[in-house]
């Protein structure tokens, strides 16, 4: 049998680490806080990259690459930015055997180096909008790390755009938030809430930060992507002005937005079970595993038939045939379940006699006999159903774990104590950072987003904690 995974009910965090390590998605590295992304984990990231990159290009963005190392002084040009990132910097002090005149930091994010270049590239309204994305690694020194979810180095993409007007920049910010929502829901099968972050949770240097927030199976929230409206903060810090159509000089308006390898962690935690990883078909590096079942006396019947079917399916599907004779069928079933392949096809001698195969869904475990000549069509339909079902299941789970507490006691009970239910709490908030801090102190729950239109809904209500007039309907949760 495949290796044992700690059940979620015993320890959710041990279960998570077991899946990452035993499905060989990643491994601890000898460098504290850094991880190694193994081929099976990297293949998931590659499929995510490919889908996102297509969506970025379809919305007019181009890829580029900016330096890893940034002069330390650049970060100091934007006051909030340096305040947010200074505690997390890795600093290069020596290069080529000599002490550097000015220390260089490894990018924790690239606004500063990019806006120093935009200053060279933007002179006129004709140079705008400038719509650039970068796939890169970044380093943020973290005290407590967790595979995929929080590591000192991670891979991500960061979009950095420059616009002639505030309206255009705000539109871009929301466009990319929508790209992230679409990707999370349609590819990752992971429903997300969208909205704006409170002041205390926003990106260091942004005017507004928008986010997509998902709910994991342990009822904790995970911020899965952010899109920032940066106003003219970086244009002013790096003196990036353009000549408008009336030949007057104006500062440029900016956005930035990113998702990271954290999404791989989110994917695992959103769908997987006690048998291992579950991957939505659209992101599965292998969609189908075909397992021929035979003994020495019927090897010559089963194997060629399996190969024939595989050759046909290969035209349309990403398929692996597991005909390794050193493992038993049962071992293979468990192994491929562990690896999260969405659909298993079994082909034994009795199947063959009946001109059929057996298909087994990873998400529900349901088995069905399928006529050989309908295998491709049925596999396509089942993969679509699995993709839909994973989304639907996660959506129902989120619905069942979204609460509307009427009183502070009800809300506190959601988060206090070991067996507290957790999940999302939607509640009126007075908009005061002190109240937000108090709620966090008492429950460890933070404001995940202020949904679009929340101000309307808050009208006439009183804050769940302070009793003062509410300004927002906020969504709270304990979060990763």
In the complex, which residues of this chain contact its own copies (CB under 8 A)? 27, 29-31, 34-39, 42-43, 45-46, 62-71, 74, 86-97, 103-104, 106, 113, 116-117, 120-121, 132, 136-137, 139, 141-143, 152-153, 155
Range list of H helices, 142-250: 166-182, 233-237
Taking the complex as a whole, the smallest distance from the CB of residue 184 to its own copies amounts, in Å, to 22
The answer, yes or no, to whether the previous bond of 104 is cis (omega within 30 of 0) is: no
Taking the complex as a whole, the smallest distance from the CB of residue 60 to its own copies amounts, in Å, to 11
Taking the complex as a whole, the smallest distance from the CB of residue 97 to its own copies amounts, in Å, to 6
- Contact assessment for residue 187 and residue 280, using Cβ atoms and an 8 Å cutoff: yes
Between residues 38 and 236, which has the closer beta carbon with respect to its own copies? Answer: 38
Report d(CA 60, CA 179) in Å as an integer: 12
Token digits for 356? Answer: 């059929």
Report d(CA 267, CA 214) in Å as an integer: 10
Between residues 16 and 42, which has the closer beta carbon with respect to its own copies? Answer: 42
Chain-centre distance of CA 330, in angstroms?
A: 33
Taking the complex as a whole, the smallest distance from the CB of residue 238 to its own copies amounts, in Å, to 10
Instruction: Count CB-CB contacts under 10 A for residue 315.
Output: 8
Between residues 54 and 365, which has the closer beta carbon with respect to its own copies? Answer: 54
Taking the complex as a whole, the smallest distance from the CB of residue 48 to its own copies amounts, in Å, to 13
Between residues 137 and 407, which has the closer beta carbon with respect to its own copies? Answer: 137
Taking the complex as a whole, the smallest distance from the CB of residue 81 to its own copies amounts, in Å, to 16
Angle 408-415/433-443 helices, nearest 10 degrees? 50
Report d(CA 303, CA 396) in Å as an integer: 42
Pairing of strands 253-260, 221-231: antiparallel
Taking the complex as a whole, the smallest distance from the CB of residue 68 to its own copies amounts, in Å, to 5
Q: What is the maximal distance between C-alpha atoms in the chain? A: 86
Between residues 109 and 443, which has the closer beta carbon with respect to its own copies? Answer: 109
Between residues 89 and 230, which has the closer beta carbon with respect to its own copies? Answer: 89
Give Cα separations from 128 to 195, 258, 428 (angstroms): 27, 21, 40
Report d(CA 376, CA 168) in Å as an integer: 46
Between residues 297 and 326, which has the closer beta carbon with respect to its own copies? Answer: 326
Give Cα separations from 247 to 115, 175, 236, 308 (angstroms): 22, 29, 19, 69
Report d(CA 113, CA 117) in Å as an integer: 7
Between residues 245 and 418, which has the closer beta carbon with respect to its own copies? Answer: 245
3-class state of residue 409 by DSSP: helix
Pairing of strands 35-37, 367-371: unpaired
Reported as type and span, the H/E element at residue 337 is: helix 329-339
Between residues 284 and 352, which has the closer beta carbon with respect to its own copies? Answer: 284
Taking the complex as a whole, the smallest distance from the CB of residue 39 to its own copies amounts, in Å, to 4
Taking the complex as a whole, the smallest distance from the CB of residue 31 to its own copies amounts, in Å, to 5
């Amino acid at each position: 049998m495949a290796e044992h995974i700690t059940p979620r009910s015993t320890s959710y965090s041990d279960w998570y680490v077991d899946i990452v390590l035993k499905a060989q998605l990643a491994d601890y590295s000898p460098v504290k806080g850094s991880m190694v992304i193994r081929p099976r984990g990297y293949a998931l990231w590659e499929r995510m990259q490919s889908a996102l990159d297509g969506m970025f290009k379809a919305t007019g963005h181009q890829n580029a690459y900016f330096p890893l190392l940034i002069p330390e002084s650049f970060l100091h040009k934007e006051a909030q930015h340096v305040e947010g990132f200074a505690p997390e910097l890795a600093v290069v002090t020596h290069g080529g055997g000599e002490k550097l005149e000015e220390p260089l930091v490894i990018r924790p994010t690239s606004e500063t180096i990019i806006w120093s270049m935009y200053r060279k590239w933007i002179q006129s309204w004709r140079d705008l909008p400038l719509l650039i994305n970068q796939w890169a690694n970044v380093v943020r020194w973290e005290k407590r790390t967790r595979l995929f979810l929080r590591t000192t180095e991670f891979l991500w993409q960061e979009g950095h755009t420059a616009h002639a007007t505030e309206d255009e920049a705000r539109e871009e910010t929301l466009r990319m938030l929508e790209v992230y929502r679409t990707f999370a829901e349609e590819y990752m099968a992971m429903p997300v809430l969208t909205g704006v972050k409170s002041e205390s949770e926003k990106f260091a240097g942004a005017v507004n930060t928008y986010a997509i927030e998902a709910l994991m199976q342990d009822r904790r929230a995970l911020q899965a992507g952010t899109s920032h409206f940066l106003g003219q903060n970086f244009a002013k810090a790096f003196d990036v002005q353009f000549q408008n159509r009336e030949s007057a000089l104006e500062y440029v308006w900016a956005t930035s937005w990113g998702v990271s390898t954290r999404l791989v962690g989110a994917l695992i935690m959103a769908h997987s079970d006690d048998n291992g990883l579950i991957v939505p078909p659209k992101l599965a590096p292998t969609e189908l595993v075909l397992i021929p079942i035979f003994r020495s006396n019927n090897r010559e019947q089963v194997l060629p038939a399996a190969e024939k079917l595989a050759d046909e399916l290969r035209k349309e599907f990403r398929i692996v045939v597991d005909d390794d004779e050193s493992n038993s069928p049962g071992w293979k079933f468990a192994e491929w379940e562990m690896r999260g392949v969405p659909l298993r096809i079994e082909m034994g001698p009795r199947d063959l006699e009946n001109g059929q195969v057996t298909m087994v869904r990873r998400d529900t475990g349901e088995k069905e006999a399928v006529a050989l000549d309908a295998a491709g069509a049925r596999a396509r339909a089942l993969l679509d159903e699995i993709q839909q079902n994973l989304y639907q299941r996660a959506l129902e789970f989120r619905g069942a774990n979204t609460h509307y507490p009427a009183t502070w006691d009800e809300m506190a009970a959601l988060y206090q104590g070991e067996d507290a239910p957790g999940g999302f709490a939607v509640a009126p908030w007075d908009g005061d950072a002190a109240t937000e801090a108090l709620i966090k102190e008492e429950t460890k729950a933070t404001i995940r987003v202020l949904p679009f239109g929340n101000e309307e809904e808050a009208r006439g209500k009183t804050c769940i904690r302070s009793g003062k007039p509410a300004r927002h309907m906020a969504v709270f949760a304990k979060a990763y």
